[in-house]
Each structure stands twice: as structure tokens, then as C-alpha cells.
Amino acid sequence: MSAGDLAQAERGRICDLFLEVGPEHPTLCEGWTTADLAAHLVIRERRPDAAPGILLGGRVQAYSEKIRRRIRDHGTFADLVARVRSGPPFPLRLVDGAMNLSELFIHLEDVRRGAGDHTPRSEAEVGEVEAALWAIQGRRTRFLTRGLQDIDLTLALPDGETKHIGGGSRPVTLRGRSGELTLFLSGRRAAADVELTGETEAVDEVRTGKLGL
């Protein structure tokens, strides 16, 4: 399957799960319910005027939050989920895989694990998705870990395959399934099933130092 097809499959799964658990279900996004998260996904794809507030602070973020709450509270939850399921408009649909596969995987796990059960999905269910996530590890990971202090990071899969990310002089290896690595590097560290090895202070920096955008 292409990255776009995999993104569509994850989109279908998260929308099905939204409807299964309802709008008030907790997520790993602190303070957000499933309704909040669904509205966030709509903004990313359909409100370019509000999307910058996802990353920026101040008045831009306040505006984005105002729009997100308005989208969340307008109409029924089923209507909101239907907007997520419909996917991005053209021409963003042409880059759905590159733009959304990782995002949809992470937010699906935000919902799955939001109530405290951090059990990963089976490899049979997400094998192709995890292979695609592993393929994009590299430059993206260097960007997400740029705030760590002097860490020479290596990612490792359970089968022994590795990717050297680099970035410093203190070596640390982050080992786990590709999806779990993706969750950890996106800031969902407590919910990710990974193993860290290296010198104690360097490992602590990876566990607690700055990650993400």
C-alpha cells in the first residue's frame, strides 16, 4: 500500500474509534477529549487561517483555539467525525500520506491509550504502517530531537535494524517498534513501549529533555 492508502486506512480507524468511544473520551493530549482532537484534525486540513496557531503562541494560538472550539461545538459529534473522515481537500489530498500518516497514527494512539491502557496494536494490524513510519525516520527525527543536549541518538527496531540519528557526543539507543518510537519522539513518552540504553545522565536527558516542534 502507498503512504496515502495507509493514511486513509488510519483515518478510517480513528473515525471508527471516535464514534465507538464518543466525544468525551480522554486522550493523551492533555486537557483534550476526542471531540477536541477531532476538531484539531479538521483545522489542520481545512482551516489554513487557523492552522498556524497549532504551532505558534500568543494571539495566533488564541485565534486557533477559538476556531477549534467553534468547530468542536457546531453540530453533532457524528457530523464532526464525518468531516475528519472525508479527508483533506484537493490539492492536499495529493500529499495525504506525507502530510498525515504519522499524524493520524499518533492521534489514533492518543485515543486508544487515553484511558490508561498503553498496549500497542498487534503487528498484524499495523505492520505496513510501522514500516512506512520507519522509512521516514531520519531527518524528521533529527528535527524533533534538536532540543536534546549533546545526545548521539540511535534508533533500533526489535529485529536489530538501526538508524543513526546523531546530534551529539553522548550515545543513547532508543529501541522499540517503529510506531512506539514515533509516539515517544512526538512527546508521548510515558505511553510508548520503548527501551533506552546508554549512560545514565544521557538516558535521563532523552527521557525528560525537549522533544518535538
pTM: 0.93
- How far apart CA 210 and CA 144 sit, in angstroms, is 9
pLDDT of residue 93: 78
- How far apart CA 157 and CA 180 sit, in angstroms, is 10
- How far apart CA 118 and CA 28 sit, in angstroms, is 10
pLDDT of residue 74: 93
- How far apart CA 10 and CA 101 sit, in angstroms, is 7
pLDDT of residue 139: 85
Burial class (CB in 10 A: 0-12, 13-18, 19+), 77: middle
pLDDT of residue 10: 97
pLDDT of residue 64: 87
Sign of CA dihedral 19, 25, 28, 31: positive
pLDDT of residue 97: 86
* Cell reading at 206: 532523552
Closest CA to 154 of 137, 140, 166: 166
- How far apart CA 204 and CA 198 sit, in angstroms, is 9
Which phi and psi angles does 54 have, rounded to 5°?
-65, -35
pLDDT of residue 180: 98
Return the amino acid letter for 50. Answer: A
pLDDT of residue 107: 98
- How far apart CA 45 and CA 104 sit, in angstroms, is 12
Closest CA to 146 of 175, 173, 167: 167
Digit-by-digit pLDDT tens for the chain (213 residues) are 898 899 999 999 999 999 999 999 999 999 999 999 999 999 988 887 877 777 676 788 888 889 999 999 999 999 999 999 999 888 877 888 888 999 999 999 999 999 999 999 999 999 999 999 999 998 889 999 999 999 999 999 999 999 999 989 999 999 999 999 999 999 999 999 999 999 999 999 999 999 977
pLDDT of residue 165: 95
